[in-house]
Structure 1
Amino acid sequence: MESTFYIQFNVKTQEGLQSYGRFDIGNDSEAAAKIFHQLKGSPDVNEHNFLSLELMETVKGLPVNLQIISCTLDELAYNCRVISKEVFNQANIKLP
């Protein structure tokens, strides 16, 4: 079974972290890491952060957290643009 990668979006609520979205970003670990490293945010995640993004890998059907960053609402908007652009490029640009 092949690993797949995705970026999960979380928001802090009174009940704890709630996942509210995700971008599937393929099965190439290098491409997934490249996308995640382009994102704005801080790796210093703590209880005061309200928004976070997690780079996840599915291994044998189970989710594995690879990295997490916290971000502001403005950074989240920027990050959605970056991820959408990169996913579009991966799907539409075929290198020889």
Structure 2
Amino acid sequence: MKTLKGIETYGCFHLGHDEAFARRLYTSLFADEEVSVDSVITIDLVKRENGVPFPQGLRHCSYEQLSTNVRLVTKEVFKRLNLEI
């Protein structure tokens, strides 16, 4: 989130170890590649290797897009964990 002090991280989703699933989900998010007037939140795709974060992507979204994305991620992770898709 953009703040007066810069970018502040306040939440994350652990999508598991299936990189293909994480990338598919990330590309399905409602967000923009470029910053717009409504961009208030960034969603980063980060791969961790031995605890070291490696940025894989950065998307910008509005509050409305964020709420849609949280629902989407929650639904897809739920399905993956409970329905073994």
Q: Under a length normalisation based on structure 2, what TM-score does the superposition of the two structures give?
A: 0.91
Relative contact order, higher structure (CA 8 A, sep 6+): 1
Distance 2:12 2:84 in 1: 24
2:29 to 18, 24, 39: 39
1:92 to 79, 82, 85: 82
Structure 1 unaligned segments of length 5 or more: list them.
1-10
Distance 2:30 2:63 in 1: 11
Equivalent residues, number: 84
Is this contact kept in 2: 1:42–1:69, CA < 8 A?
A: yes
Distance 1:23 1:59 in 2: 16
Q: Under a length normalisation based on structure 1, what TM-score does the superposition of the two structures give?
A: 0.81
Structure 2 unaligned segments of length 5 or more: list them.
none
Query: How much identity, in percent, do the aligned residues show?
Result: 27
Higher strand share: 1
1:66 to 50, 53, 56: 56
Q: Which runs of 4+ in 1 moved over 4 A?
A: none
* Shift in CA distance, 23/89, structure 1 to aligned 2, threshold 3 Å: same
Higher helix share: 2
Distance 2:69 2:4 in 1: 25
Is this contact kept in 2: 1:45–1:68, CA < 8 A?
A: no
